[in-house]
Structure 1
């Protein structure tokens, strides 16, 4: 896990330096804050546009799918934050397996939730069909 974070940090640092070099060749003098402002704005707008398209389509079918995606995204942030905090404070072991098992736990409980929800929906549907048939017989 530590190696993955180091590789990611190294990649981002190299990319950062290359972008600064390219921008300075173009005659622009951007400081680190301005560079973050521009890149995070672009990344955020791209993510927003993508999620807007996806969520509009999902909303036609189920708000549960949108809720799951949002919850799963927040869970990813939380489990990474916990593992990074463990590394920084040396309280516990920073392991990728912890992240995976935490997310597996969420997915497992979510599947139980879906099973219960679908079971209730099936019971209601069967009851309505049966109730309508018995009402017509009278």
Structure 2
């Protein structure tokens, strides 16, 4: 996990340096704050446009699909934060396997939830069908 964070940090630093080089070559005198303003602003807007398009399509199918995606993303950020906190404080081991295990826990419990919801729906449907036949 620590190695993955170091590789990610190195990649981000290289991209950062490249953007500074390009902006300097274009004659832009961006401060670090200005660079963050424009870079994160553009990334955020592009991400929003893509997410908006995807979520609009999913909303036609089911709001629960959007809820699942939101929850999964939130949990992903949370488990990464927990592992980073473990590394910083030295309490526990920072391991990628912990992240995967936590997210699998959510997926398994979510599948169980879907099975229960599906069973309740099926029982209600069969009950209503039988009730209409008797009337």
Give TM class, smaller chain: over 0.9
What's the counterpart of residue 58 of structure 2? 58
Long gaps (5+) in structure 1: none
What's the counterpart of residue 77 of structure 1? 77
Deviations 1:77-119 (A, max 9, x none): 0000000000011111000000000000011111111111111
For normalisation by structure 1, the TM-score amounts to 0.95
1:111-122 → structure 2 map (5 Å cutoff) = 111-122=111-122
Deviations 1:21-78 (A, max 9, x none): 1111111100111111111111111111111111111111211111000000000000
CA distance in 2, matches of 1:121, 1:83: 39
Aligned residues: 135
Range with bigger deviation, 37-46 or 2-11: 37-46
Long gaps (5+) in structure 2: none
Give RMSD over aligned pairs. 0.7
What's the counterpart of residue 87 of structure 1? 87
What's the counterpart of residue 96 of structure 2? 96
The runs of at least 4 consecutive aligned structure 1 residues that moved more than 2 Å come to: none
CA distance in 2, matches of 1:129, 1:60: 27
